[in-house]
Structure 1
């Protein structure tokens, strides 16, 4: 059972004690007597009695977002998620002995996609919107990144994909300090996030955005699901200097940086994929009055995108024509990194290291 592999890494998130033992009700802390429930596929390690000023919408609106996020079934690592994952794997250079933390894992898709590359893959998130595959392939903890339930130096590597832009600055500082604490000396962390800075080639990127807006005005598709997903983006680290300063405060040294100037990516996401979504997301049959009365209706764009994604997933066998086409598009999107990755802009991958001394 994967959860059991967590036990040697754990400390109590409430009192920091490592004197933990399993009993019928769950994981018991001998220091503060908190009992942490063990569920099917994950363990609840949220600190007892903690009150935070900032709480993610994925926690407060978890039940409401569950259907909209369509998180239970994972597709292969393709398109923008595929670019993120290929870059994650390339920069962190996973080893078969590595103990790795996906800190703020969400569905834990990146953890699942890389679990076979490492000795132990751990996913941590305060919400429990874990994919079905993650529940069986990743050691999962429901945990708050401001008080991680892991002992000092427990991990060789860690990563944070699409996390930092959600947090106010004081939460970012605590998140990064905790990330540094659980890394061993010489351990590395990869973060992907974005600031408010525009790309030097923004006028070219905006051509695709303008074409996309024409299709939106024509009623062909919309970006309502994407807008909701990004509705809590704070981008407290507004400039690249802010990013470097935040990692410096946490004691993490930059090793490599790649910027994502999204010329090809924006063309794919605002035109190619949205047109495909509009075609595939059409209803095959009308919704009956009885069915529509039973459930809270989703916005048309959200429902259409979910239908399209589910239909595509059924055809994503490795080697299938749809898979090969999306793989080719993924590689085209990755050209943004290879051609323009040196050019400072808002979106960035940063690899950092915890000093050995």
Structure 2
């Protein structure tokens, strides 16, 4: 069975002290690394704040709260312009894991394909033409008809950051049904 994870106030450490220290170091390196891509400010269509810092913060949550491991295959629904993908390039193992990002905004996906995928070939990005009043009003697929373009049981971890807040409840149900279809047994959804 797969799991849906939510933030909680428990104090149980997920990582040992050495792993915690390494993750803190990695997140600091991601924030400071001027060679990691950052989209032009005018291209960022969702979210504000420091692109790298927010991505690094979520990487910490993925690892600490959800147990994301470097060899996990990751699906990022609503990947936008790669805010979660960029820090994951520094964490997931290029030889043993893949990342797939999907989003209805073609411009963001095109930036990710041009900027991230050439340097990180295990990172793929796809536009999914799902209709959304805010992000893709002319989309050809209704939210209730959305189907993820992946095989059953293809991923260990799925992230949906700032997606459910933009969907009506009946579409959230469709998304969750699809997520659980593409997750492997024991896979996790970070929502």
- Mark yes or no: TM-score above 0.5: yes
What's the TM-score once normalised by structure 2's chain length? 0.56
**How far did 1:68 drift?**
5.7
Q: Deviation per CA, 1:10-56, whole angstroms, max 9, x where unpaired?
A: xxxxxxxxxxxxxxxxxxxxxxxxxxxxxxxxxxxxxxxxxxxxxxx
Say whether residues 1:142 and 2:127 are aligned partners. Answer: yes
Q: C-alpha distance in 2, partners of 1:147/1:91?
A: 27
> Contact 1:107–1:134 at 8 Å: present in 2 too?
no
What's the TM-score once normalised by structure 1's chain length? 0.31
Q: Which residue of 1 aligns with 2:59?
A: 85
Q: Which runs of 5+ in 1 are unaligned?
A: 1-65, 192-357
Q: Which residue of 2 aligns with 1:160?
A: 160
Q: C-alpha distance in 2, partners of 1:76/1:104?
A: 15
Q: C-alpha distance in 1, partners of 2:64/2:125?
A: 24
Q: Which residue of 1 aligns with 2:136?
A: none
Q: C-alpha distance in 2, partners of 1:117/1:153?
A: 22
Q: Which residue of 2 aligns with 1:97?
A: 71
**How far did 1:170 drift?**
1.0
RMSD: 2.5
More helix by share: 1
Q: C-alpha distance in 2, partners of 1:82/1:100?
A: 16
Q: C-alpha distance in 2, partners of 1:114/1:81?
A: 8
Larger Rg computed on CA atoms: 1
Name the SS for the 1:161 alignment partner.
coil
**How far did 1:86 drift?**
2.1
Number of residue pairs matched by the alignment = 122
**How far did 1:85 drift?**
3.4
Q: Equivalences for 1:55-66 in 2 at 5 Å? A: none
> Contact 2:63–2:69 at 8 Å: present in 1 too?
no
> Contact 2:78–2:160 at 8 Å: present in 1 too?
yes
